[in-house]
Amino acid sequence: MEKLICAVQNYEWGKRGAQSVISKLNFVANVEDNKPYAEEQARELHAKDPKNYPDSNHKPELAIAISDFQLLCGFRQCHQILSNVKAHKELLELISEDDLANLASEHTSESEKNKHGLQAIFSTVWKAPQAQIARVIQEIVTRLSKTENPAPVDKLILQLNDQYPGGDVGVLAPFFLNYFTLSPGESVFVGPNEPHAYLFGDCIECMACSDNTIRAGLTPKYKDVDTLLVNIDDVLWNTLHLASLSLLFTKLVVKQVVWQNLDPARFFWLFRPKHDSK
């Protein structure tokens, strides 16, 4: 075994000060209480915009939970998105009836309409004027804050709005993306171009050798919605047939004193000691 000497990044989404696991692991450094700590398609993106996409590598990821870990990953099934829109009528200010009708098509022969409906809805919402987004979010938050027993996704909307006030379109993401919690030791594989957001908790994140990130919400950094919409085209299409590209798995193989995790695409192989090994 070799000891790793790792760098520490200070991304805005990291936990602050001594609350961060990273700050504790980096024990030789002076921990600043107000500083966030975290470990944060590519040929064309790099060629067109090397400042925001600094390399030409793709970026599959494997996130392993070390505490209860909440995240958004992959598009919900169409019927779930429709249900969320119907339950939150404020969203109809952003979404046309035609797009909803296309999304509602359930027959296999009309799957192309599903695809275009989902693309159109996501594109329309994420490219809506900032003032309109802020107004819709405020209307939803005002109503939900008066609800006695909000659903889990509604609680999350309120939490995200507190964390990213002012009308960040990413606050609406839970209506469109799968929301789930990993238990310690569980992991999720995120394929290239798959929309996702790590929300609460701690994880170890393994990724390909790339620092490319297409951001579209829940961040104070540069947002590139147009590039996101171009690159998630195949993900939208596959989501309709596979329900979700997010593959959740736990400890799959036991080999003596280590657990071996294999992601389905064979991008990553993870080995870790068993707690009871000597």
Among the ranges given (128-142, 182-196, 213-227), the one the predictor scored with the smallest mean pLDDT:
213-227
The predicted-structure confidence for 139-163, as pLDDT tens digits, reads as follows 999 999 999 999 999 999 999 999 9
- Provide the pLDDT for residue 138: 98
Q: Is the confidence at residue 111, as pLDDT, over 80? A: no
- Provide the pLDDT for residue 229: 76
The predicted-structure confidence for 46-99, as pLDDT tens digits, reads as follows 456 555 545 444 557 788 888 999 999 888 888 889 999 999 999 999 998 888
For the whole prediction, is pTM greater than 0.75? no
Cβ atoms within 10 Å of 244's Cβ, excluding its own: 18
Token code pair at residue 79? 């019927």
How far lies 238's CA from each of 118, 155, 188, 209, in Å? Answer: 12, 29, 18, 25
The one catalytic residue among 43, 215, 266, 272: 215
The predicted-structure confidence for 231-269, as pLDDT tens digits, reads as follows 665 566 555 444 433 445 454 444 443 444 444 555 666
How sure is the predictor about 110, in pLDDT bands with cuts at 50, 70 and 90? Answer: low
**Sign (positive/negative) of CA torsion 36, 41, 164, 71?**
negative
Q: How far apart are CA 125 and CA 81, in angstroms?
A: 13
- Provide the pLDDT for residue 140: 98
Q: How far apart are CA 193 and CA 136, in angstroms?
A: 27
**Average pLDDT, rounded, for the chain:** 73
Q: Is the confidence at residue 45, as pLDDT, over 90? A: no
Among the ranges given (21-30, 86-95, 197-206), the one the predictor scored with the smallest mean pLDDT:
21-30
Active site residue 135: no
Euclidean distance between the first and the last CA atom of the chain, given in angstroms as a whole number: 16
More confident residue, 217 or 44: 217
Q: Is the confidence at residue 39, as pLDDT, over 50? A: no
Query: Closest Cα partner for 244 from 170, 156, 179?
Result: 179
Q: Is the confidence at residue 169, as pLDDT, over 70? A: yes
Q: How far apart are CA 115 and CA 183, in angstroms?
A: 32
The predicted-structure confidence for 121-142, as pLDDT tens digits, reads as follows 888 999 999 999 999 999 999 9
- Provide the pLDDT for residue 254: 42
How sure is the predictor about 227, in pLDDT bands with cuts at 50, 70 and 90? Answer: confident
The answer for residues whose C-beta is within 8 angstroms of residue 196's C-beta and 6 or more apart is 61, 71, 72, 73, 74, 177, 190, 246
